Amino acid sequence: MQYNASRALALLRIGTRNANASFREDQEDAIRQVVEGGGRLLVVQKTGWGKSFVYFIATKLLRDQGMGPAILISPLLALMRNQIAAAERMGVRAVTINSENHDGWQNIEESLKRNEVDILIISPERLANEHFVNKVLAPMSHHISLLVVDEAHCISDWGHDFRPHYRLIERIVRTLPPNLRVLATTATANNRVLQDLESVLGPNLSVSRGGLGRPSLLLQTMRIPSQAERMAWLATHLPNIDGSGIIYTLTVRDAVQVAGWLRSRGIHAESYSGETGERRPVLEDALLRNRVKVLVSTTALGMGFDKPDLAFVIHYQTPGSVVAYYQQVGRAGRQLDAAHGVLLSGKEETDINDYFIKNAFPSRQEVAEVLDALRAAAKGRSINELMNQVNISRGRIDKALQLLSLESPAPIVKQGSRWTLTATDLSDAFWQRAERLTELRRKEQQEMQDYVSLTSGHMEFLICALDGDPVDYRPPAIDPLPSTFDSALVIAAIAFLRRTNLPLEPRKKWPSGGLARLRVKGNTPIARERNMQPGKVLCVWGDAGWGQLVREGKYRSGRFDDQLVEACAAMVRTWAPQPAPAWVTCIPSRRHDGLVPDFARRLATALHLPFYAALAKTDDRPPQKDMANSNQQARNVDGSLAIQGSIPSGPVLLVDDMVDSKWTLTVAAYLLALHGSGSVYPMALASTANTDE
Give pLDDT tens digits for 289-341.
Answer: 999 999 999 988 866 677 889 999 999 999 999 988 998 999 899 889 999 99
pLDDT tops 60 at residue 693: no
pLDDT tops 90 at residue 176: no
Indicate whether 692 belongs to any domain: no
CATH number at residue 657: 3.40.50.2020
Q: Quick count: other Cβ atoms within 10 Å of Cβ 281?
A: 12
Q: Does residue 202 sit in the same domain as residue 251?
A: no
pLDDT tops 50 at residue 209: yes
Mean pLDDT score across all residues of the chain: 91
CATH number at residue 80: 3.40.50.300
pLDDT tops 70 at residue 491: yes
Indicate whether 447 belongs to any domain: no
> What is d(CA 575, CA 569) in angstroms, rounded to the nearest whole number?
10
Indicate whether 33 belongs to any domain: yes
CA-CA distances (angstroms) from residue 99 to 85, 337, 419, 424, 508?
19, 39, 21, 31, 24
Q: Does residue 231 sit in the same domain as residue 366?
A: no
Mean pLDDT throughout 608-618? 96
The reported pLDDT for the residue numbered 487 is 93
> What is d(CA 302, CA 503) in angstroms, rounded to the nearest whole number?
28
Indicate whether 446 belongs to any domain: no
Q: Does residue 58 sit in the same domain as residue 176?
A: yes
The reported pLDDT for the residue numbered 114 is 92
SS3 assignment, position 349:
helix
Indicate whether 448 belongs to any domain: no
Q: Confidence class of residue 79 from pLDDT cuts 50, 70 and 90?
A: low
pLDDT tops 60 at residue 651: yes
Q: Does residue 202 sit in the same domain as residue 299?
A: no
Q: Does residue 145 sit in the same domain as residue 185?
A: yes
Phi-psi region of 519 (alpha: psi -120 to 50; beta: other; left: phi over 0): left
Q: Does residue 526 sit in the same domain as residue 668?
A: yes
Of 171, 191, 209, the position where a domain reaches its end is 209
Q: Does residue 167 sit in the same domain as residue 312?
A: no
Q: Does residue 239 sit in the same domain as residue 178?
A: no
Q: Are strands 206-209 and 41-44 parallel, antiparallel or unpaired?
A: parallel
Q: Which ranges constitute the DSSP H helices of 5-126?
A: 5-16, 27-36, 51-64, 77-89, 105-113
Tens digit of each residue's pLDDT (9 = 90 or more) over 368-426 = 999 999 999 999 999 999 999 999 999 899 999 999 998 888 999 998 899 999 999 99
Q: Does residue 404 sit in the same domain as residue 478?
A: no
The reported pLDDT for the residue numbered 188 is 81
Read off φ and ψ for residue 520, nearest 5 degrees. Answer: -125, 145
Tens digit of each residue's pLDDT (9 = 90 or more) over 541-556 = 888 889 989 999 999 9
Indicate whether 441 belongs to any domain: no
> What is d(CA 241, CA 622) in angstroms, rounded to the nearest whole number?
53
The reported pLDDT for the residue numbered 303 is 65
Amino acid at position 637, single letter: V
Q: Is the dihedral of CA 485, 488, 491, 495 positive or negative?
A: negative
pLDDT tops 70 at residue 128: yes
Q: Quick count: other Cβ atoms within 10 Å of Cβ 422?
A: 13
Q: Does residue 33 sit in the same domain as residue 164?
A: yes
SS3 assignment, position 311:
coil
Instruction: Write out the residue range of the structural domain in which residue 562 sits.
Output: 501-687
Q: Does residue 195 sit in the same domain as residue 73?
A: yes
| Number of separate domains in the chain | 4
DSSP secondary structure code for residue 420 in this structure: E
Q: Does residue 147 sit in the same domain as residue 245?
A: no
Indicate whether 449 belongs to any domain: no
Q: Are strands 412-415 and 418-421 parallel, antiparallel or unpaired?
A: antiparallel
Q: Confidence class of residue 199 from pLDDT cuts 50, 70 and 90?
A: confident
The reported pLDDT for the residue numbered 158 is 44
Mean pLDDT throughout 574-581? 96
Indicate whether 188 belongs to any domain: yes
